[in-house]
Amino acid sequence: MSGTIYQALADAVIEGNQGKAVECTADLLKDGTDPKMILDNGLLKGMEVVGIKFRDNLIFVPQVLISARAFKSSLSILEPFLSKSDTEGMGTVVIGTVKGDIHDIGKNIVAMMLKSSGFRVVDLGIDVKAEKFIDAIKNEKAVILGMSALLTTTMGYMKAVIDKIKNENLSVKTIVGGAPISNSFAEQIGADGYAKNASDAVELSKRIIK
């Protein structure tokens, strides 16, 4: 039964049907479905198809935005269930999408998962310049800086931020992620780690602060 609703939720994201996406998410939650399963089997499955259609020029920016809106509305219903930890005892993570880049769906999921794992998260949003990252690391006494980039044209900016952190001798650990990022890229720019997805980001964060 939930398999059919997962598909309906994925379809709602693909079609950009915000009302339907919210309704399916609420129904699944009411049935006691694990919110992580709703995210993985419904919302992310739908967004994966949107990505493929966008890549293949079958849909364009306006349709992707409508899908993103449906995705985000559902995610906001899931958020209280995904981020139910209030311990915040793991330290502070400053996170943001780098300068020139406005993609934030993946970054928001990573932020949410980190919160649910006991980190305090300061989310600087999108299009974040190096100076803003540096100020937040200092002011919030961050133990980890997380940077997200979805464009091949913006991923290079991560190095500029890491170089600045090193120049200022800040002791924060840096983790990077996003569709075009890889382990070797992370090594190349001097990041402390790369995470493929939100669960990996949590594992990595726990590991590097030990």
- To the nearest 10°, report the CA torsion of 132, 110, 196, 35: -170
**Is the C-alpha dihedral spanning 40, 80, 105, 90 positive or negative?**
negative
DSSP 98: B
Q: Which is nearer to ligand B1M, 1 or 98 (CB)?
A: 98
**With binding defined as CB under 6 A, does residue 178 bind ligand B1M?**
yes
Report the nearest approach of ligand B1M to the CB of residue 44 (Å): 6
Report yes or no: 205 and 142 within 8 Å, Cβ to Cβ. Answer: no
CB of 135 to ligand B1M, least distance (A): 18
Backbone angles phi, psi at 164, to 5 degrees: -65, -40
* Identified binder of ligand B1M from the candidate list 9, 24, 28, 50, rule CB under 6 A: 50
Please tell me whether residue 175 binds ligand B1M under the rule CB under 6 A: yes
Which C-beta is closer to ligand B1M: that of 31 or that of 180?
180
Question: Considering only CA atoms, which of 122, 101, 127, 98 is closest in space to residue 111?
Answer: 122
Q: Does 42 bind ligand B1M (CB under 6 A)?
A: no
Residue 92: phi, psi to the nearest 5? -100, 135
The tokens 């993985």 sit on which residue?
40
Does residue 146 bind ligand B1M (CB under 6 A)? Answer: yes
Q: Establish if 64 lies at the interface with ligand B1M (CB under 6 A).
A: yes
Tell me if 104 contacts ligand B1M by CB under 6 A.
yes
Among 109, 124, 136, 158, binds ligand B1M (CB under 6 A): 109
Give the helix/strand (H/E) hosting 120. strand 120-123
Where along the sequence are the contacts to ligand B1M (CB under 6 A)? 44, 47, 50-51, 54-55, 61, 64-65, 68, 95, 100-107, 109-110, 146-148, 150-153, 175-180, 195, 197-198, 201
